[in-house]
Amino acid sequence: MKTRESRILESARHSLARGLVVAAVCSAVIGDVDARDSSMPSATELQEVVDEAHAKFKDLKDGKNADYIPILATIPSELFAVVIVTRDGEVYAAGDADYAFAIESVSKPFNASLVMQEQGPRAVYEKIGVEPTGLPFNSKIAIELHDERSVNPLVNAGAIASVSMVKAGTEEERWSKVHGNLNDFAGAELPLLDEVYESEYKTSWSNRAIANLLYNYGRLYAEPEESMRVYTKMCSVGVTTKQLATMGATLANGGVNPVTGKRVLDEEHVPELLALMMTAGFYDESGEWSYTAGLPAKTGVGGGIVAIVPGEMAIAAFSPRLNEAGNSVRALNAINHISSTLRLSVFDGR
Ligand code: DON
């Protein structure tokens, strides 16, 4: 049994550790913005590196389609696209860049952004949490292990909680705000893929357990089944790799969509969102991803990944075969290749 003092000390230690991680990531992110303006690769270099990444990994067959959502197992595994969109909205693409796939967990940081925009980053910190779990994206153990319960907005628990936090009087309004926000990031009307939604909602027993657990702990802020439905719809939105790269470029551009000019997130909150993506965007592979690519990013079991080069560009890639952690094998290799070729890591001060 912990004493009150030891709890306070433990909580202070956690807060300090959190503060240090966020401060380190933010300073790497912010410090690089000015330096990067002068080091932006040319249009030719960008198209070359995109083509090269596509050619280098197009024959890689490792991993397999997600199948716990039955329809994802039927998506052609050979699809592969790599796209860069710069903060000015320039597009460099290779492969199946106009194929619309299920956004799945790549939607999570964009919805966390909506909550930050509505209620401020402190609300995300207090009502969801900002710690990486070091566990799989759908972990129930993480909910029991952490006092925050939902842990962070990029795992399923925290993402369902962030959907429940969106201010709405009805389920329709909740969905409309969640969907509208994704559209604003993409600068396009993104479709709801009905077949994906049906397939996922019918088999969502694990997420249903998570939603109910959170509700039990007072860490879900709307009715569980409503939160689940809207969360599942959010994951079932269709996005092309070009649109996904534009969503990322909006964050690279300080929260303003470079194509439509619409501000989606206040510039001052972008570093907090990117810190979450750096520490938890690849789930239990976030350490390895930071160590290799060094970019804030988010993956999804639909096979999409988006990575942000703050102040410069976003790189998106898509291919359905996933590794054990649920991250697309070709997409992560392609983005990693581009990051190391162009030396894009936010930790690279050279
Ligand atoms: O809730 C789920 O399980 C899916 N809708 C999303 C999971 C996901 O994309 C994890 N990412 N790699």
pLDDT digits (tens, 9 = 90+) for 172-182: 999 999 999 99
Cβ < 6 Å from ligand 1: which residues?
104-105, 137-138, 156, 200, 207, 235, 299-301, 326-327
Q: Give the pLDDT band of residue 233 (cuts 50, 70, 90).
A: very high
- Ligand 1 centroid from CA 300, angstroms: 6
Residue whose C-alpha is closest to residue 326's, from 126, 60, 139, 130: 139
pLDDT of residue 350: 75
Evaluate if residue 23 carries a pLDDT over 80: no
What residues have CB less than 8 Å from 2, skipping those under 6 apart?
10
More confident residue, 22 or 71: 71
pLDDT of residue 38: 54
* HSE, side-chain direction, 13 A CA sphere, residue 300: 32
pLDDT of residue 12: 40
Sheet holding 313-318, edge to edge: 91-95, 81-86, 313-318, 304-309, 297-299
Residue 319 corresponds to which tokens in the numbers above? 């291919």
Average pLDDT score over the chain: 91
Evaluate if residue 277 carries a pLDDT over 50: yes
Give me the residue label for tokens 């956690």: 14
Evaluate if residue 192 carries a pLDDT over 70: yes
**Buried (b) or exposed (e) across 141-175, using 16+ Cβ within 10 A?**
ebbeebebbbbbbbbbbbbbbbbbbbebeebeebb
Residue 2: Cβ within 10 Å count: 9
**Residues 112-118, mean pLDDT to the nearest whole number:** 98
Evaluate if residue 113 carries a pLDDT over 80: yes
Q: Whose alpha carbon is nearest atom 11 of ligand 1?
A: 300
- Ligand 1 centroid from CA 206, angstroms: 11
Evaluate if residue 28 carries a pLDDT over 80: no
pLDDT tens by residue, 220-232 = 999 999 999 999 9
E-strand stretches of 87-161 = 91-95, 101-102
**Residues 147-169, mean pLDDT to the nearest whole number:** 96
Q: Give the pLDDT band of residue 54 (cuts 50, 70, 90).
A: very high
